């Protein structure tokens, strides 16, 4: 029998929903690159249900308990006295989501003597100290591509919301006003603007494809240049570095992983190289943008707007300056946890667990660490020896809070 500890976000304030806005969701069998969507032997939930909160349990309880395993689900994840910390001691498997991450620090790996598998129900394992996982021979996996399109759609929404000044205009309606001049004094057309993405992987490329019909000029930077036919199809301009790209772009969207090279990439210096009055979108990871540099740029007018749904730490404290800075379009980390995405990453989590318990190979595209080294997607996205600083700093924050 295995003990599975699952860290999920809290239920809605009004309680777990008895019904939903829609009766069904589209069925996605394959992703744009041809990869198949998750293929577990079965699921014990209806697609479109709220699975990412505590009561949703990622639809895993029936499956795990019928197989003789123990499932513990909690939202209490931070600090030495948290429920997660208590349950971690004899856990065999830990599952959490990027939106409500269980920060797996080296200290926590040391405590979890039985730990064999860490799963991200979603995409992004930077809340896990990968070097510690390698040292402890713990497998790390995530459900690659499950919510990439979800995030790409969120990026496009945020770009349009900032450029068209949507949020302040909506607020005038709520206030009972009809203040057209106030609404449009910061509203522009996206058409004809230069839009660039930092990284053109699954999410970045999906953003470029979705923006092409808006008749914008598309730019990108990535360590791995896209095929020539893709550049021609989307009329893309490739840049050899980020600095070259941000100088000419009206909108920059960040879609790269967090690692030492990208941590605080958008600091005062980088933002200072951007066009005055440009917009910055970050749905990648909060620490890629320097927190206070973003605030300063919005206050000075160097940035016309900043939007994103990633913070550090997560959840963000009530006094986080991004909550109150001017001209922002921030959301909690929700871009990849739509009900549609939850269906895929819950199914993918079950697929990973089925293979793990059966002693079968986990899909290569799901693997981050295996056998004491980076594997699968992890070998492409991360660097051996780089402990995840986010986990370590989060631990310090948790002790102080």
Number of alpha helices (DSSP H) and beta strands (DSSP E) in the chain: 15, 13
In sequence order, what are the residues at sequence separation of 6 or more whose Cβ sits closer than 8 angstroms to the Cβ of residue 152? Answer: 203, 206, 207, 210
Q: How far apart are CA 239 and CA 294, in angstroms?
A: 23
Cα–Cα distances (Å) from 135 to 96, 110, 118, 384, in that order, read 21, 10, 14, 11
C-beta separation of 34 from 341 below 8 A: no
Q: How far apart are CA 39 and CA 21, in angstroms?
A: 26
Q: Which helix (H) or strand (E) holds 196?
A: strand 194-198
Catalytic residue among 97, 255, 314, 342: 314
Beta strands (DSSP E) in 22-110 are 70-74, 93-96
Catalytic residue among 147, 165, 302, 342: 147
In sequence order, what are the residues at sequence separation of 6 or more whose Cβ sits closer than 8 angstroms to the Cβ of residue 344? Answer: 28, 37, 38, 143, 146, 147
Query: Residue 198 CA to chain centroid, in angstroms?
Result: 15
Handedness of CA 159, 99, 328, 250 (dihedral sign): negative
Q: How far apart are CA 124 and CA 342, in angstroms?
A: 15
Query: Is residue 333 flagged as an active site residue?
Result: yes
C-beta separation of 25 from 339 below 8 A: yes
Query: Is residue 314 flagged as an active site residue?
Result: yes
Q: How far apart are CA 59 and CA 367, in angstroms?
A: 22
Catalytic residue among 69, 328, 333, 344: 333
* Joined tokens for residue 229: 């036919």
Decide the pairing of beta strands 278-282 and 70-74: unpaired
| CB crowding 262-298: b at 16 or more within 10 Å, else e | bbebbeeebbeebbeebbbbbbbbbbbbbbebbbbbb
Catalytic residue among 259, 285, 328, 350: 285
* Joined tokens for residue 390: 């986010």
Catalytic site positions? 147, 285, 314, 333
């Amino acid at each position: 029998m295995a003990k599975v500890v699952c860290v999920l976000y809290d239920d809605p304030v009004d309680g777990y929903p008895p019904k939903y806005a829609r009766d069904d969701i589209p069925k996605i069998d394959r992703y744009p690159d041809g990869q198949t969507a998750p293929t577990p032997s079965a699921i014990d939930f209806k697609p479109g249900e709220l699975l990412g909160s505590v009561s949703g349990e990622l639809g895993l309880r029936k499956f795990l308990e019928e197989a003789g395993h123990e499932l513990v689900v909690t939202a209490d994840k931070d600090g030495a006295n948290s429920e997660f910390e208590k349950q971690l001691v004899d856990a065999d498997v830990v599952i959490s989501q990027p939106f409500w991450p269980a920060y797996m620090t080296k200290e926590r790996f040391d405590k979890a003597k039985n730990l064999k598998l860490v799963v991200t129900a979603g995409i992004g394992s930077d809340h896990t100290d990968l070097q510690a996982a390698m040292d402890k021979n713990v497998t790390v996996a995530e459900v690659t591509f499950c919510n990439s399109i979800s995030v790409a759609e969120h990026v496009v929404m945020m770009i349009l919301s900032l450029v068209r000044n949507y949020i302040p205009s909506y607020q005038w309606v709520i206030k009972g006003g009809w203040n057209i001049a106030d609404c449009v004094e910061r509203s522009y057309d996206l058409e004809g603007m230069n839009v660039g993405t930092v990284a053109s992987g699954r999410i970045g490329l999906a953003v470029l494809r979705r923006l092409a019909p808006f008749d914008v000029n598309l730019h990108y930077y990535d360590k791995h240049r896209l095929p020539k036919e893709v550049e021609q199809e989307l009329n893309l301009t490739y840049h050899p570095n980020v600095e070259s790209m941000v100088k000419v772009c009206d909108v920059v969207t960040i879609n790269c992983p967090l690692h030492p090279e990208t941590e605080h990439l958008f600091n005062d210096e980088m933002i200072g190289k951007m066009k005055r009055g440009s917009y910055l979108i970050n749905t990648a990871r909060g620490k890629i943008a320097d927190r206070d540099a973003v605030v300063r740029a919005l206050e000075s007018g160097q940035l016309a707007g900043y939007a994103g749904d990633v913070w550090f730490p997560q959840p963000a404290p009530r006094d986080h300056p991004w909550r109150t800075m001017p001209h922002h379009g921030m959301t909690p980390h929700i871009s990849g946890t739509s009900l549609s995405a939850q269906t895929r990453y819950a199914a993918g989590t079950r697929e990973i667990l089925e293979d793990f318990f059966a002693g079968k190979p986990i899909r290569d595209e799901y693997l981050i660490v295996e056998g004491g080294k980076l594997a699968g997607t992890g070998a492409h996205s991360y660097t051996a020896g780089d402990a995840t600083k986010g986990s370590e700093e989060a631990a310090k924050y948790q002790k102080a809070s």
